[in-house]
Amino acid sequence: MPIRQLQYMVYASLMAALIAFGAYVHIPLGPVPIVLQNFFVLLAALLLGSRWAATSVAIYLFSGAIGLPVFAGAKGGMVHFLGPTGGYLLGFLLAAFIAGAIAERCSRQLVAEILAVTLGSMAVYAVGVPWLKFTAGLTWGKALLVGMAPFLIGDVFKASAAVLLARALRPILARQLMPVSS
């Protein structure tokens, strides 16, 4: 296995752990809590690109699916994919892929990074809100009111912080990913 691939595997695992940590920082707010998971999903996308960011989210989701307490409220298990937050959890995977794909193709341009985190955040809602509507039996208006509206301002701050932190961490990450000389 090439050393660079091993390094990305370690970074993807680290980001999965940070996404899990983000679930522990939660504020209960109706059926969908305020969490930091999406901040770490977007950060992974900006730093690792589509493939490795999606891998980190997949590791996180698998960990929760098998029962590890990595979801909001220190919970785990397949039941969370079937409940009101299941769509948001799956939306993290789509967000990581979309934001990562934009970030890796636009060579670290600030406008592209802002677009990446914006579309990534929208992807979470595009999957999460319809799933919330379906599982909770809500109208579209109510689902948007409880499943998206309260989170928008916080998501702007989290997305902005992800862009700023990614821009600060990228030079460090680049030095770590330098080829190892024999």
**pLDDT at position 128 over 90:** yes
For residues 126 and 119, what is the distance between their CA atoms, to the nearest angstrom? 10
Report pLDDT digits (tens) over 29-75.
Answer: 777 778 899 999 999 999 999 999 999 999 999 999 999 999 988 89
User: Looking at residues 6-27, what average pLDDT do you find?
Assistant: 93
> Side chain identity at 4, as an amino acid letter?
R
Higher pLDDT, 31 or 86: 86
Residue 6 has pLDDT above 70, yes or no: yes
User: Looking at this protein, which amino acid is placed at residue 129?
Assistant: V
What's 181's DSSP letter? P
- Could you give the CA distance from residue 38 to residue 124 in angstroms, rounded to a whole number? 8
Report the helix count and the strand count for the chain, using DSSP H and E: 7, 2
Of 58-67, 87-96, 105-114, 143-152, which range is least confident? 105-114
As to burial, measured by CB atoms within 10 angstroms (0-12 exposed, 13-18 middle, 19+ buried), residue 77 is middle
The predicted structure's pLDDT at residue 179 = 58
Residue showing tokens 């809100």: 129
Query: Counting Cβ atoms within 10 Å, is residue 46 exposed (0-12), middle (13-18) or buried (19+)?
Result: buried
| pLDDT of the residue at 29 | 75
Of 177 and 62, the structure prediction assigns the larger pLDDT to 62
pTM tops 0.85, yes or no: yes
Q: Taking residues 146-168, what's their average pLDDT?
A: 95
Whole-angstrom Cα distance, residue 9 to residue 91? 22
Task: Name the residue among 88, 56, 57 with its Cα closest to residue 72.
Answer: 88
User: Model confidence at 182, in pLDDT bands (50, 70, 90)?
Assistant: very low
Entry field: residues in the chain:
182
Report whether 132 contacts 146 (CB < 8 A).
Answer: yes
Tokens matching residue 76: 């785990």
- Dist. CA 86–CA 99, nearest whole Å: 20
Dist CA 39 CA 46 (whole Å):
11
Encoding tokens for residue 4? 């660079």
Tokens representing 158 are 């989290």
